Amino acid sequence: MAAFLLLCLCYLIYRLAVLQIVDGEKNKNAATDQYTTEITIPAKRGNIYDRNNKLLATSTTVQTVFISPKDIVDDDQAKLIAEGLSRILGVDEAEILEKTERKYSKYQIIKKNLEEDVELQVREFIAEHKLTLQVCLEEGTKRVYPYGTLASHVIGFVGAENTGLDGIERTYESVLSGVNGRAIQGKDGQGNDLPFQYESYIDAQNGEHIITTIDFTIQSILTKYLKECYELHKPTYGCRGIIMNVKTGEILASACIDEYDLNSYTELTGAYLEKYESFEGTDEEKNAYRSTLLFDLWKNKVASELYEPGSTFKIITTAIGLEEGVFTPESQFNCTTQVTVLGHTIHCHSKKAHGMQTVAEALVNSCNPAFVQMGLKIGGDLFFKYFKAFGYTEPVNSDIGGEAKSIYYSDLSNQLTLANCSFGQSMSINMLQHIAAVSSIANGGYIVTPHFIKGYIMPDGTVVNEDKYTTKRAVISKSTADTILKMLVNSTKNAAVSGYNISSKTGTSQKMARPGAEPDQKYYIGSCVSFAPAEDPEIAILVVVDEPTSGKIYGSQLAAPVISSVLSEVLPYLEILPSDANSIKTLKVDDYTSAEIERAKYAVKAAGLNCVVKGSGSTVVDQLPRLGTTITEGGTVILYTENEHTVDKVRVKDLTGMTPDQVFEWAKTQKLNLIVEGIYNREFASCYAVSQSVKVGEQVNVGAVINVTFNYKEDIQ
């Protein structure tokens, strides 16, 4: 018996040693877990602003309902909770009942992001049935995007756990998310406060605010005209565009059409919704197809989609040859409408031979045979050396997620491959690579990094600029860049902007036929890149229209008009002054009534207007156009000097098809005034009127104002 008692005592000593010494820390932590409750204090996610501090994304306070199964007294109380919350929240009663059975837990979420009126109903339910321990409300945050679809592919969205899943939200997750805090409180087995102090509180650190390079106004303008292009040409794979500061790489706007609503990012829109609704299959197949469509809708195709740049790449071929002295701007290349390389015939877009042409003429004419000759003269090794130097073999490595890797031939010893590459075929690149490369022509020969981050707003309110993308890398000389820039000035008429000089290049590339396509079916991408203003470019814009179905396939027909429309609004917004040589000045008509006739005539002529006097009086009693009317400089003001006067009428003719000079001359002889709209430049012989605000044959008063829209008969490129 003594031996047995001694053995038991030794075992007890051993167990005490294990519990208190060996497993002491573990048991201490387990005890702490039993009588303490830890509550997470969520950090508030940082805001996202445009470059002018316009709010693009923010977080609002919302409530989450959760239950504590451990504190539920019995089955009757569990049923009461399940029935009440199901009725108020619209959550399945059986699902809530299942959660009430998890007696080990004090935290089971029932529903997140409650609306204010629903929150009040829950609070009333808790108070009425004295369920303060069993049913609780927890404060949280919900991401809100004030402008819905605007820049959706740039901003991205957050998931159910308030974590960035796409776009800037994902790229800068660590900056925006902040650090959650904690509150620890001691409770006994019945949920009462412990008689001793056991509480701690760690405050949450809110996320930092981000200032992006995006300009809300410019983004809105680009989006508006891309949508118009989409509606007009219905491209199968949409259209996309990007506007970048050529000197810094700051992206002012980037858009893909279709867009989606960031506040409802799981909802299909536009063509994607149409595809889903027309899909036939089982529920399982439809759900899988819907997921596929959503992922495609979310893609930022400016970065993730590869395409063959076509003739816009001829800028790069020209730069290589001029920089290395392979040819000069005056070097000539012959075009007979086609050229044969290794038995393969490459055609020019023009059915009429260009003949002998300089490098500048070949670039403006977008002549494929000429550029094949240039590429072969450059040689494969030198061509690929610069292809790599311009950044086409690597991602741009900025803060833009999802960038696709380019596809290209590193061995250009095959002359046919080199020939195709020389005019922008046989390679697939993304738009970020291309706008970074061609912008070197606009900024004096440097490669900059396209990026979205401009700076941060610190907790104390100070703004810190981000400088990690300020590095510039020289790729060609300034003289080469300036030479090419001048070659392209106003070379693409449908990308022109009234009053400004714009350097542009269009491109049209043929896509590979898809499996199952008709043998004669062809697919195209039309694109255009422009730099403005040509004298000292500040911005570059690249627009791509992917597989149009309207019957038009050329970049000059598809993308160039978009650029013209965008720049017509963006350049004045940026306060970039028009070029004097092409500027069309407008002015508002002053009030000349009651003035002496000689003084009035002098004032009208001093304003740059023509003056016609009707009557023999000495004082102006009436005038046309009236005070405040906007007219073009060189217009006509009719001054009446007698109370009893007759207003002459003019029958309006058909102005469409007339050149600007013809329209202005007709308006002057008829004593009418003009407002010029559309794409206008008097230096272009192919510029002509396409519409007018007054119908043909309609009679108007002399001095009346007619709006005339001009456009160009653009050569296809």
Of the candidates 262, 291, 294, the one whose C-alpha atom is nearest the C-alpha of residue 57 is: 262
Tens of pLDDT, residue by residue over 654-712, are: 999 888 888 989 999 999 998 887 776 666 667 888 889 999 999 999 999 999 888 77
Would you say 715 and 534 are in contact if contact means Cβ atoms under 8 Å apart?
A: no
> Based on the number of CB atoms within 10 Å of its own CB, is 467 exposed (0-12), middle (13-18) or buried (19 or more)?
exposed
Which tokens in the block code for residue 32?
């702490």
| pLDDT value of residue 519 | 64
Which tokens in the block code for residue 206?
């809110």
Tens of pLDDT, residue by residue over 91-123, are: 898 998 999 888 888 888 888 888 788 889 999
Q: Which domains does the chain show, CATH number per domain?
A: 38-212 (3.90.1310.10), 304-514+522-573 (3.40.710.10), 586-712 (3.30.10.20)
What whole-number distance in Å separates Cα of residue 328 and Cα of residue 613?
Answer: 59
Would you say 130 and 84 are in contact if contact means Cβ atoms under 8 Å apart?
A: no
pTM: 0.81
Is 70 exceeded by the pLDDT of residue 466? yes
Which tokens in the block code for residue 47?
């805001």
At residue 191 the predicted structure's pLDDT band, cuts being 50, 70 and 90, is low
Q: Which range is most confident: 171-175, 516-520, 521-525?
A: 171-175
Would you say 89 and 110 are in contact if contact means Cβ atoms under 8 Å apart?
A: yes
Which tokens in the block code for residue 528?
């255009």
Tens of pLDDT, residue by residue over 678-690, are: 776 666 667 888 8
End-to-end CA distance of the chain: 108
Tens of pLDDT, residue by residue over 55-92, are: 999 988 888 899 999 888 898 998 999 999 999 998 89
DSSP per residue over 107-126, as a string? Answer: -EEEEEEE-HHHHHHHHHHH
Is 70 exceeded by the pLDDT of residue 313? yes
Q: Which residues contact 75 (CB under 8 A, 6 or more apart)?
A: none
What whole-number distance in Å separates Cα of residue 210 and Cα of residue 196?
Answer: 44
What whole-number distance in Å separates Cα of residue 495 and Cα of residue 533?
Answer: 12
What whole-number distance in Å separates Cα of residue 256 and Cα of residue 156?
Answer: 13
Tens of pLDDT, residue by residue over 111-160, are: 888 878 888 999 999 999 989 888 988 877 789 999 999 999 999 999 87
Would you say 488 and 479 are in contact if contact means Cβ atoms under 8 Å apart?
A: no
At residue 235 the predicted structure's pLDDT band, cuts being 50, 70 and 90, is very high
Select the more confidently predicted residue: 411 or 32: 411
What whole-number distance in Å separates Cα of residue 300 and Cα of residue 432?
Answer: 11
| pLDDT value of residue 80 | 92
Average pLDDT, the chain: 89
| pLDDT value of residue 684 | 65
Of the candidates 246, 162, 210, the one whose C-alpha atom is nearest the C-alpha of residue 442 is: 246
Is 70 exceeded by the pLDDT of residue 187? no
Average pLDDT of the residues in 186-214: 71
What whole-number distance in Å separates Cα of residue 581 and Cα of residue 594?
Answer: 37
Would you say 395 and 405 are in contact if contact means Cβ atoms under 8 Å apart?
A: yes
Of the candidates 570, 605, 574, 569, the one whose C-alpha atom is nearest the C-alpha of residue 587 is: 605
At residue 173 the predicted structure's pLDDT band, cuts being 50, 70 and 90, is very high
Average pLDDT of the residues in 272-301: 93
| pLDDT value of residue 711 | 76
Average pLDDT of the residues in 195-214: 78
Average pLDDT of the residues in 638-644: 92
What whole-number distance in Å separates Cα of residue 139 and Cα of residue 250?
Answer: 37
Would you say 452 and 399 are in contact if contact means Cβ atoms under 8 Å apart?
A: yes
Is 60 exceeded by the pLDDT of residue 257? yes
Of the candidates 573, 581, 617, the one whose C-alpha atom is nearest the C-alpha of residue 596 is: 617
- Count of CB atoms situated within 10 Å of the CB of 400: 25
Of the candidates 44, 49, 50, the one whose C-alpha atom is nearest the C-alpha of residue 177 is: 44
Q: Which residues contact 133 (CB under 8 A, 6 or more apart)?
A: 68, 71, 191
| pLDDT value of residue 21 | 82
What whole-number distance in Å separates Cα of residue 218 and Cα of residue 215?
Answer: 5
| pLDDT value of residue 214 | 97
Select the more confidently predicted residue: 23 or 102: 102
At residue 393 the predicted structure's pLDDT band, cuts being 50, 70 and 90, is very high
Spatial strand order of the sheet with 251-257 comes to: 251-257, 239-245, 539-546, 523-532, 503-511
Average pLDDT of the residues in 389-413: 93
Provide the phi-psi class of 639: left if phi over 0, else alpha when psi is between -120 and 50, else beta.
beta
What whole-number distance in Å separates Cα of residue 426 and Cα of residue 80?
Answer: 69
Is 60 exceeded by the pLDDT of residue 582? no
Would you say 88 and 153 are in contact if contact means Cβ atoms under 8 Å apart?
A: no
Is 70 exceeded by the pLDDT of residue 478? yes
Is 80 exceeded by the pLDDT of residue 193? no
Backbone angles phi, psi at 581, to 5 degrees: -65, -30
Would you say 374 and 359 are in contact if contact means Cβ atoms under 8 Å apart?
A: yes
| pLDDT value of residue 70 | 87
Q: Which range is most confident: 31-35, 92-96, 216-220?
A: 216-220
| pLDDT value of residue 104 | 81
DSSP code, position 311: G
Would you say 92 and 86 are in contact if contact means Cβ atoms under 8 Å apart?
A: yes
Percent of the chain with pLDDT over 90: 62
Which amino acid is present at 381?
Answer: D
Would you say 717 and 506 are in contact if contact means Cβ atoms under 8 Å apart?
A: yes
Average pLDDT of the residues in 510-531: 82
Q: Give CA separation, 412 vs 221, 263, 418, in Å.
A: 41, 48, 5
What whole-number distance in Å separates Cα of residue 545 and Cα of residue 644?
Answer: 60
| pLDDT value of residue 162 | 84
| pLDDT value of residue 385 | 97
